């Protein structure tokens, strides 16, 4: 059914909405009443509701074991090791015994269980403390003191001052006049300012026991939900009218009663159905990219494990079939059908430790302490607010080192969120705020008011609106008036609010009288600044009752009756109040963004000129980086207001979709507005923001700004933050249709040409309306291509959901690690969608912090969080994982070599308990030392040179290639660690008496060499040695020697390790062992050492070069300032070396070889080194630059200019034909290139020239042979 108020009201000068602009779908109750909650007051409840006892604990006593095991065995690695442990229980299958896998697994699960129990015990203790609190409850006509957990839905309770509310309550009465109370919601949203709640006038008299005992009513409200700022319900007494219930009467569990003696309230939601508990859900599960890559490699290793086990079983079967007749004395019998399967399981158990059992728990512990290091970093501690950095999760520590995109909110994130009123525009005139020492009478605004200016009435109306349009109520404490910030409706007010006469009316500010002066506290910092601005001009907001606002203006006290408050919502983007002026007129004051106010302005030539001038002032304010707001007023006819009030009342008592219905009702009256003016508020940048943004950009991190502010304000702030600079072109997308957006995107994409999807020094600015079209299915790909082609993107006038959509689009499409940072509730969605969410604990509450993964107090701390802790943690976790796989492959592949050595028997080489203790004892410490204390460079160097962040950002330390390089390295080490001891012991001369030691002695030899080698390998992989590093490496080796001393002497005192009895004396008395202890680890690690030396000498990376400079105490700035190719060689250089060496080997004359090598190297290095022409030097007079010189780089070859001189005569060839005219190379450039080539040739050929005399290459035969085998192959 359609509705139109035009048929109800007739007034020639007032415009109304057409009937197609609003429907009764929002103004009438739906048919879903059966979904509502019905509560009977002072009567038994017809249905059973949940208990008020709450539990935030993860486990209970009976559920701990099953839930804990379920949680642990959701990890594939634990399931795998459990399978191995079960297979080991099969008789005659396990070569390592029954407990060698189960014992370490139980140990690891025990550690995890203790951690879970300790954490859950704290939760149980906090829950018990909460559930045992006392509250007064009305039972049988008297007040009883009961525990919170005994509270039931429908109970009437009394809460005293400074007490928390035990459940979600509907306020009935209070100790204050008009049923007012003050609450603090810091536990819910982090806001410490007080908020107002007011009982309905029909229930306010219920302030005594007799009246409450006789009170009978029915409450109908919405089902339990998690919306903190929404509540819809109605209360109906017997034979009485229906009373609407809303957020004004809602007292939420977790909030506290303040500055009010008591309140009486009705329980509507209890326990886990309260809004607090509904919002206590876990944040989305996020996993780091390294974790995902690790799981992939574990899967690959598992497949390799299965293949190795299968091949080993096959070879075992083949060996038996070949030898069972010839080697009858071994006792081989005919193979049974199950032998192959048993053999397969045997080898599966034998090789299972290729996958490190301790990796998961080691990584968790390391990440836990890394998170503690972040919290303990004093450089990220904000002393002014006493706020340290906080890691709310430790699973993403390494992800901080891989961030490619940062999405930042503006207000409160880049800026201080400390608002100061600067100026306003009233009736086409800009007025600046009076200075501290400036008299009001001397200001232009006062002069226009006193001199009967034509716009004096507009100025007065404007200032009055600033003092009236609010929901503020004063409070009397100890004889002095105190006013606290409060808003009974939605506490999230518009991002920009208010102006002078209107500035003093339209806000949610509460004044506080301190030493005779009023101090304003407000839920919105914008409102506080604007009300203070109105007071600076003499329009002082003085007091408020629930029905009126009092303003003192120029010696007069004016009282405005507040009839209705149309609260701000994110969809409306405006706030309005309907008031009755002292003259009896009804006025609507409306404030909001220009985009929502201007379409609702009345027409007319004068109004259009006024609006155009004000719009120009708004653009001027935005260019200065100021936050703007527009103010308008409408005169409401009395008879229209009465009809509209009835419509609004019907919407206010609706239970379903009440917000939508109220918004549709507001549309009926927020029209035909008369523009009053606009305001400008300054929000300064936080300290260190420009430097922080510059550092992030140097670290190759793309910074996007997503804000709800005006476009001009956002651009200005981006310039101030050094995100934009004057020379950077701006692509501005402001389109009003889908087709226009498509055309604009196509045009810009075509302009980029071949530079599309490459980083360009271009900035993109887009507004929310255009973004809505660009994020459509058919344009999203083009929009993303345009975004990634720009260095900077600024999205303005965007909603919270649009922020989240942009972050999700970039994360999914690029696969890059994204980080979102913000400080308000409107940033929660994008923080949760990003790979890493960072919350700033600012003045807008703690909602962003509670939803984040990491929290900091200032934006500038983000630089240290990423460039220092992020890069460190990435390097540490990468090395920890690689080293964990390395040490396991190193030991357990030896079982494969021994299987080959022992005819695929499946026999183990090592004593079974030493196999189980390898990961949990003997090699457990080095991973912790690497994961906690290894550093790339010092934090000062990391911050001074943000380019050091790039290697971790590009995932150069942990990828498929690096993983398998480490795996192959471990494979080669395992070969040396097994076969070298076999060679040493093959003649069985281990002791002077000539006795043989057997396979177990060999196993202990090898085991000792393995422990020593893998511990020393940790030293080679460590960049910064500390005392912890020394203890972990040398202590682990010593721990093995101590173990073998103790374990070899336990039997028969303790009945374990019988085969190891006396092993210490056998091993330590052998000179072969001590010789091998020196030789085998050295021979194993020597290739690694040689490769490391060569790499650091000839192919060092940027990070290694900077670290070397730091060790030598040199400033790496000069090193980083050089062209990258001249400092850090690439494979192009290696090709140059190979070509030169090949030339030497193919030449028959040493001198000729040197000349050819010099020529080849000179030609190559002239392209790779910086010459005068390539360095940007100006050409000689009369010359031009050409493209004959080519400078090599890793990614692509760029043509650099070379100098050309015009020539007057053409050259001729030997045949007499005219040669093409060739420009002569600039002598200066030629000399520079020649010098570069000669230096390189000399350096390269010097050692070869010394050896060339040893080569006899004069014979024709050798000449032809070398020529065919090398030159022809290479060419």
Mean pLDDT for the chain? 78
HEC profile of 852-906: CCEEECCCCHHHHHHHHHHHHHHHHHHHHHHHHHHHHHHHHCHHHHHHHHCCCCC
User: If you average pLDDT over residues 226-249, what whole number do you get?
Assistant: 84
- Burial of residue 236, with CB atoms counted within 10 A of its CB: 0-12 exposed, 13-18 middle, 19 or more buried: middle
- Tally of domains in the chain: 6
Catalytic residue of the set 409, 683, 709, 934: 409
**CA 545 from centroid of its chain's CA atoms:** 45
Instruction: Quote the domain boundaries for residue 448.
Output: 417-637+675-681
Question: Does residue 1 surpass a pLDDT of 60?
Answer: no
Residues 594 and 673: their CA atoms lie apart, in Å, by 13
Residues 188 and 1257: their CA atoms lie apart, in Å, by 87
Residue 261 belongs to domain with CATH number:
2.70.150.10
How many CA atoms lie within 13 Å of 1040's alpha carbon, on the beta-carbon side? 29
The position carrying tokens 């303990």 is 376
Are residues 440 and 521 both part of a single domain? Answer: yes
3-state secondary structure of 169: strand
Are residues 331 and 461 both part of a single domain? Answer: no
**1152 or 415, which is more confident:** 415
3-state secondary structure of 626: strand
| Digit-coded pLDDT (tens) for 384-395 | 888 899 988 888
281 confidence band (pLDDT: 50, 70, 90): low
DSSP letters along 437-502, please? T--GGGSHHHHHHHTT-TTHHHHHHHHHHHHHSS---EEEETTEEEE----SS-S---SS---SBB
Domain boundary among 215, 249, 278: 278
Domain boundary among 810, 843, 866: 866
1122 confidence band (pLDDT: 50, 70, 90): low
| Digit-coded pLDDT (tens) for 1026-1081 | 999 999 999 999 999 999 999 998 887 787 778 888 888 888 988 889 999 999 99
Does some domain include residue 286?
Answer: no
Phi, psi of 1204, deg, nearest 5: -120, 140
Contacts of 95 (CB under 8 A, 6+ apart): 346, 349, 350, 906, 907, 908
- Report pLDDT for 508: 52
Residues 203 and 996: their CA atoms lie apart, in Å, by 99
**Quick check: 891 and 982 in contact, CB under 8 A?**
no
Residue 761 belongs to domain with CATH number:
3.40.50.1000
Are residues 317 and 300 both part of a single domain? Answer: yes
Structure tokens at 1070: 């052998």
Q: Which pTM value belongs to this model?
A: 0.70
Does some domain include residue 872?
Answer: yes
User: If you average pLDDT over residues 298-315, what whole number do you get?
Assistant: 91
Are residues 956 and 941 both part of a single domain? Answer: yes
Question: Does residue 1099 surpass a pLDDT of 90?
Answer: no
Residues 507 and 1220: their CA atoms lie apart, in Å, by 82
Residues 590 and 587: their CA atoms lie apart, in Å, by 10
User: If you average pLDDT over residues 362-380, what whole number do you get?
Assistant: 92
User: If you average pLDDT over residues 703-717, what whole number do you get?
Assistant: 85
Are residues 902 and 1025 both part of a single domain? Answer: yes
Residues 551 and 340: their CA atoms lie apart, in Å, by 95
Are residues 1047 and 1155 both part of a single domain? Answer: no
Does some domain include residue 665?
Answer: no
Of 112-116, 169-173, 540-544, 1230-1234, which has the strongest mean pLDDT? 169-173
- Burial of residue 820, with CB atoms counted within 10 A of its CB: 0-12 exposed, 13-18 middle, 19 or more buried: buried
Residues 82 and 80: their CA atoms lie apart, in Å, by 5
**Quick check: 402 and 292 in contact, CB under 8 A?**
no
Question: Does residue 705 surpass a pLDDT of 60?
Answer: yes
Question: Does residue 666 surpass a pLDDT of 70?
Answer: yes
- Report pLDDT for 436: 57
Let me know if 409 is a catalytic residue: yes
Return the DSSP state at 267.
Answer: E
Question: Does residue 1240 surpass a pLDDT of 70?
Answer: no
**Quick check: 397 and 873 in contact, CB under 8 A?**
yes
- Report pLDDT for 1129: 45
Are residues 738 and 803 both part of a single domain? Answer: yes
Question: Does residue 526 surpass a pLDDT of 90?
Answer: no
- Report pLDDT for 633: 93
Contacts of 734 (CB under 8 A, 6+ apart): 711, 766, 767, 769, 770
Residues 587 and 560: their CA atoms lie apart, in Å, by 10
625 torsion bin: left (phi>0), alpha (psi -120 to 50), beta (else): left
Residues 927 and 882: their CA atoms lie apart, in Å, by 10
Of 433-442, 545-554, 958-967, 1141-1150, which has the strongest mean pLDDT? 958-967
Are residues 835 and 925 both part of a single domain? Answer: no
User: If you average pLDDT over residues 1118-1136, what whole number do you get?
Assistant: 52
Does some domain include residue 58?
Answer: no
Does some domain include residue 755?
Answer: yes
**1272 or 1143, which is more confident:** 1143
Determine how β-strand 1198-1205 pairs with β-strand 702-706. unpaired
Domain boundary among 1088, 1111, 1134: 1111
Are residues 423 and 407 both part of a single domain? Answer: no
Structure tokens at 1188: 């004959």
Does some domain include residue 202?
Answer: yes
926 confidence band (pLDDT: 50, 70, 90): very high
Are residues 831 and 914 both part of a single domain? Answer: no
Residue 550 belongs to domain with CATH number:
3.40.1110.10
- Report pLDDT for 589: 92
Does some domain include residue 999?
Answer: yes
614 confidence band (pLDDT: 50, 70, 90): very high
Does some domain include residue 233?
Answer: yes
Are residues 1092 and 1107 both part of a single domain? Answer: yes
Give bridge partners of residue 629 from the DSSP assignment: 679
Query: What is the percent of the chain where pLDDT is above 90?
Result: 30
**11 or 887, which is more confident:** 887
Of 564-573, 604-613, 1093-1102, which has the strongest mean pLDDT? 604-613
Of 472-486, 1084-1098, 1230-1244, which has the strongest mean pLDDT? 1084-1098
- Report pLDDT for 766: 93
Are residues 243 and 296 both part of a single domain? Answer: no
């Amino acid at each position: 059914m359609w509705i139109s108020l035009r048929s109800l009201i007739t007034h020639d000068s007032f415009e109304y909405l057409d009937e197609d602009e609003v429907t009764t779908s929002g103004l009438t109750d739906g048919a879903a009443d059966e979904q509502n909650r019905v509560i009977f007051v002072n009567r038994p409840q017809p249905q059973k509701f949940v208990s008020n006892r709450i539990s935030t604990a993860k486990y209970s006593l009976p559920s701990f074991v099953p839930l804990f095991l379920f949680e642990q065995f959701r990890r594939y690695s634990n399931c795998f090791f459990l399978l191995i442990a079960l297979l080991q229980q099969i008789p005659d299958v396990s070569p390592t015994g029954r407990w060698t896998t189960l014992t370490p697994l139980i140990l690891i699960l025990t550690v995890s269980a203790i951690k879970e129990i300790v954490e859950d015990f704290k939760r149980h203790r906090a829950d018990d403390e909460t559930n045992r609190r006392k509250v007064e409850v009305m039972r049988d006509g008297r007040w009883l003191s009961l525990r919170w957990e005994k509270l039931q839905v429908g109970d009437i309770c009394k809460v005293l001052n400074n007490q928390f509310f035990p459940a979600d309550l509907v306020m009935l009465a209070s100790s204050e006049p008009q049923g007012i109370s003050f609450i603090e919601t810091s536990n819910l949203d982090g806001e410490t300012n007080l908020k107002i709640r007011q009982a309905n006038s029909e229930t306010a008299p219920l302030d005594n026991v007799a009246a409450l005992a006789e009170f009978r009513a029915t409450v109908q409200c919405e089902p339990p939900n998690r919306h903190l700022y929404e509540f819809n319900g109605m209360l109906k007494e017997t034979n009485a009218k229906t009373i609407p219930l809303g957020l004004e009467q809602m007292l939420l569990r977790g909030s506290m009663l303040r500055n009010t003696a008591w309140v009486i309230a009705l329980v509507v939601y209890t326990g886990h159905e309260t809004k607090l508990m509904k919002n206590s859900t876990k944040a989305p599960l996020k996993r780091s990219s390294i974790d995902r890559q690790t799981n992939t490699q574990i899967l690959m290793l598992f497949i390799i494990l299965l293949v190795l086990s299968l091949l080993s079983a096959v070879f075992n079967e083949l060996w038996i079939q070949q030898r069972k007749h010839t080697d009858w004395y071994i006792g081989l019998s005919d193979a049974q059908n199950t032998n192959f399967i048993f053999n397969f399981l045997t080898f599966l158990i034998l090789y299972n430790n290729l996958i490190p059992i301790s990796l998961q728990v080691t990584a968790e512990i390391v990440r836990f302490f890394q998170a503690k290091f972040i919290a303990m970093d004093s450089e990220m501690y904000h002393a002014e607010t006493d706020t340290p950095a906080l890691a709310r999760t430790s699973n993403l520590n390494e992800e901080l080192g891989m961030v490619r995109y940062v999405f930042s909110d503006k207000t409160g994130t880049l800026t201080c969120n400390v608002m100061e009123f600067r100026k306003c525009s009233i009736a086409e005139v800009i007025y600046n705020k009076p200075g501290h020492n400036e008299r009001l009478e001397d200001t232009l605004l006062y002069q226009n008011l006193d001199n009967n200016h034509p716009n004096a009435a507009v100025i007065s109306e404007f200032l009055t609106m600033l003092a009236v349009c609010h929901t503020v109520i004063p409070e009397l404490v100890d004889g002095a008036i105190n006013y606290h910030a409060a808003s009974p409706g939605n506490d999230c007010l518009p991002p920009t609010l208010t102006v002078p006469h209107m500035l003093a009316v339209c806000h949610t500010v509460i004044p506080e009288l301190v030493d005779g002066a009023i101090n304003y506290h407000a839920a919105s910092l914008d409102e506080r600044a604007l009300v203070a601005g109105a007071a600076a001009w003499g329009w002082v907001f003085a007091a408020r009752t629930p029905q009126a606002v009092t303003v003192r203006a120029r010696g007069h006290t004016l009282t405005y009756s507040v009839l209705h408050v149309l609260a701000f919502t994110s969809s409306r983007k405006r706030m309005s109040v309907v008031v009755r002026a002292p003259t009896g007129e009804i006025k609507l004051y409306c404030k909001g963004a220009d985009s929502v106010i201007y379409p609702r302005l009345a027409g007319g030539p004068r109004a259009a000129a006024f609006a155009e001038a004000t719009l120009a002032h708004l653009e001027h304010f935005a260019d200065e980086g100021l936050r703007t707001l527009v103010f308008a007023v409408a005169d409401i006819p009395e008879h229209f207001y009465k009809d509209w009030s009835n419509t609004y009342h019907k919407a206010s008592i609706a239970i379903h979709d009440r917000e939508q219905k109220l918004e549709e009702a507001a549309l009926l009256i927020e029209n035909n507005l008369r523009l009053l003016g606009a305001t400008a508020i300054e929000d300064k940048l936080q300290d260190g923001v420009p430097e922080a943004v510059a550092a992030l950009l140097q670290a190759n991190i793309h910074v996007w700004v997503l804000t709800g502010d005006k476009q001009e304000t956002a651009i200005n702030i981006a310039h101030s933050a050094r995100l934009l600079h004057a020379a950077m072109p701006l692509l501005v997308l402001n389109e009003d249709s889908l087709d226009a957006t498509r055309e604009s995107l196509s045009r810009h994409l075509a302009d980029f040409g071949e530079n599309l999807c490459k980083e360009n020094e271009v900035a993109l600015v887009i507004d929310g309306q255009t973004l809505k079209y660009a994020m459509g299915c058919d344009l999203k790909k083009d929009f993303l291509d345009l975004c990634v082609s720009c260095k900077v993107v600024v999205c303005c006038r965007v909603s919270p959901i649009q922020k989240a959509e942009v972050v999700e689009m970039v994360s999914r499409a690029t696969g890059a690690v994204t980080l979102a940072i913000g400080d308000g509730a409107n940033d929660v969605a994008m923080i949760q969608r990003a790979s890493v969410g960072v919350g700033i604990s600012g003045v807008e509450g703690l909602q962003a912090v509670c939803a984040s993964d990491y929290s900091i107090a200032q934006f500038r701390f983000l630089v240290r969080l990423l460039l220092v802790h992020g890069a460190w943690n990435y390097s540490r976790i990468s090395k920890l994982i690689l080293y964990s796989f390395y040490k396991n492959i190193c030991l357990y592949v030896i079982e494969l070599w021994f299987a080959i050595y022992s005819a695929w028997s499946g026999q183990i080489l090592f004593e079974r308990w030493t196999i189980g203790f390898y990961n949990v004892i003997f090699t457990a410490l080095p991973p912790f030392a690497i994961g906690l204390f290894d550093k790339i460079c010092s934090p000062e160097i990391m911050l001074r040179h943000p380019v050091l962040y790039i290697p971790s950002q590009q995932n150069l330390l942990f990828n498929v290639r690096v993983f398998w390089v480490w795996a192959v390295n471990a494979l080669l080490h395992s070969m040396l660690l097994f076969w070298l001891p076999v060679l040493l012991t093959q003649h069985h001369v281990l002791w002077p008496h000539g006795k043989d030691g057997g396979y177990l002695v060999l196993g202990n030899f090898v085991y000792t060499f393995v422990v020593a080698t893998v511990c020393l390998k940790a030293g080679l992989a460590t960049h910064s040695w500390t005392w912890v590093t020394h203890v972990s490496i040398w202590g682990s080796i010593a721990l093995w020697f101590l173990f073998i001393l103790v374990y070899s002497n336990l039997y028969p005192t303790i009945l374990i390790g019988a085969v190891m009895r006396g092993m210490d004396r056998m091993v330590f008395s052998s000179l072969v062992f001590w010789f091998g202890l020196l030789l085998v680890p050295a021979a194993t690690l020597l290739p690694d050492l040689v490769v490391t030396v060569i790499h650091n000498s000839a192919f060092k990376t940027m990070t290694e070069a900077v670290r070397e400079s730091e060790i030598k105490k040199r400033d790496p700035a000069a090193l980083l300032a050089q062209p990258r190719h001249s400092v850090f060689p690439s494979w192009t250089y290696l090709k140059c070396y190979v070509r030169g060496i090949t030339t030497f080997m193919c030449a028959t004359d040493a001198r000729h070889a040197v000349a050819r090598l010099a020529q080849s190297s000179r030609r190559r290095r002239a392209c790779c080194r910086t010459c005068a022409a390539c360095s940007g030097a100006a050409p000689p007079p009369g010359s031009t630059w050409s493209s004959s010189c080519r400078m090599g780089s890793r990614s692509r070859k760029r043509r650099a200019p070379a100098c050309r001189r015009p020539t007057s005569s053409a050259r001729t060839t030997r045949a007499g034909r005219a040669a093409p005219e060739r420009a002569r190379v600039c002598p200066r450039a030629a000399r520079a290139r020649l010098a570069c080539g000669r230096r390189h040739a000399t350096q390269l050929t010097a050692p070869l020239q010394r050896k060339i005399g040893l080569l006899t290459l004069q014979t024709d035969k050798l000449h032809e042979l070398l020529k065919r085998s090398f030159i022809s192959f290479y060419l």
